[in-house]
Amino acid sequence: MKGDKDIIGLDDGDDDEAEVPSEWLTTLADVSMLLMSFFILLFSMSTLDTKKFTDSFSAVQNALGNKAKSTTSSVVSTPEMSTLVEQAKVKQRILADQKRVYDQFRSYVSTKGMEGIVAAALEAGKITINFPAGVLFPKDGVDLTDEGKARLRTLYDFLIKTSGERINIRGFTDDTAPGPGSRFRDNWEVSSLRAVAVLRYMVSLGMSPNRLTATGLADLEPLYPNTTPEHRARNQRVEFVLERWIGE
């Protein structure tokens, strides 16, 4: 039909000279790259098995046909793709290490009788350890109590054994501003001073300052709506965020 020939740019009289267009190879290469990226993302979140990876890619090649093999082989053999595969392996190893540290910490908390006092969560390779501010500081204060120091010494004994972890100490308050006559300007100052006080105490116990940072976040990121005294007390907290860096 004439309409069909017009689509591929042929005239009625040159059927014998028509050639199969090769533009599809470019599209095929793009699709192959997307498939490989998709596979890498999947493997980064699961157990990476080199044999399975090779078998899966071979199956894709066979499904696309022999003509695609030369194109896709040149795509996946680039240094960039090799780097992506290596990064996926490293990321997977880090996630496994963090899961191990998290499980060890939960067991440690149980043996030290700190269950119900300190909470921990693992998400995307980051371990978050949560202390209520009332456990560490007096009401509306920024100086560690004796009980708070004792709790931090217990935590220090665990963290000092996890040298590969970088630790961000984050202070939080509720949404109630310091009252009239307070020596603090606002909740930003309160949360920052509490985080710094914890950092300095951990350093005084012997932890390397290079592992620690301190951040004050005031009433940002509340765990609960600030609608009851109980919720406000839970939102006032100090968090230790443990993250293992690539290369550690």
Of 51, 77, 103, which residue constitutes the final position of a domain? Answer: 77
Q: Are residues 56 and 106 in the same domain?
A: no
Greater model confidence, 77 or 109 = 109
Q: Are residues 178 and 233 in the same domain?
A: yes
Out of 21-30, 116-125, 231-240, least confident range: 21-30
Greater model confidence, 17 or 80 = 80
CATH code of 133's domain: 3.30.1330.60
Our count of domains for the chain comes to 2
What is the pLDDT confidence band of residue 35, given thresholds at 50, 70 and 90? confident
| Residues linked to residue 123 through DSSP beta bridges, in sequence order | 126
Mean pLDDT, rounded, of the chain: 82
> For the segment 41-70, what is each residue's pLDDT rounded down to a tens digit?
666 555 555 556 566 656 665 665 554 455
> For the segment 219-228, what is each residue's pLDDT rounded down to a tens digit?
999 999 999 9
Residue 90 in domain: no
Give me the amino acid identity at 235. Answer: N
Q: Are residues 203 and 237 in the same domain?
A: yes
Which residue segment(s) compose the domain that 26 sits in? 2-77
Q: Are residues 229 and 182 in the same domain?
A: yes
Structure tokens at 237: 């907290």
Work out the percent of the chain whose per-residue pLDDT is above 70. 71
Rg of the chain over CA atoms, in angstroms? 29
Tell me the C-alpha distance between 201 and 84, whole Å.
Answer: 40
Q: Are residues 49 and 147 in the same domain?
A: no
Instruction: Name residue, tokens 């005031």.
Output: 218
Q: Are residues 195 and 102 in the same domain?
A: yes
Q: Does the model's pTM come out above 0.85?
A: no
Tell me the C-alpha distance between 134 and 183, whole Å.
Answer: 19
Q: Are residues 99 and 200 in the same domain?
A: yes
Strands in the chain per DSSP E: 119-123, 126-132, 165-172, 212-216, 237-244
Shortest CA distance to 240 belongs to which of 152, 161, 163?
Answer: 152
SS3 (DSSP) at 238: strand
Tell me the C-alpha distance between 7 and 160, whole Å.
Answer: 70
Residue 26 in domain: yes
Of 77, 107, 139, which residue constitutes the final position of a domain? Answer: 77
Residue 170 in domain: yes
Residue 82 in domain: no
Q: Are residues 72 and 116 in the same domain?
A: no
Q: Are residues 112 and 142 in the same domain?
A: yes
CB 171 within 8 A of CB 215: yes
- Beta-carbon contacts of 242 under 8 Å, excluding residues fewer than 6 positions away, are 98, 101, 126, 127, 128, 129, 159, 162, 165, 166, 167
Give me the amino acid identity at 67. Answer: K
Residue 7: other Cβ atoms inside 10 A: 8
Q: Are residues 99 and 69 in the same domain?
A: no
Of 77, 108, 131, which residue constitutes the final position of a domain? Answer: 77
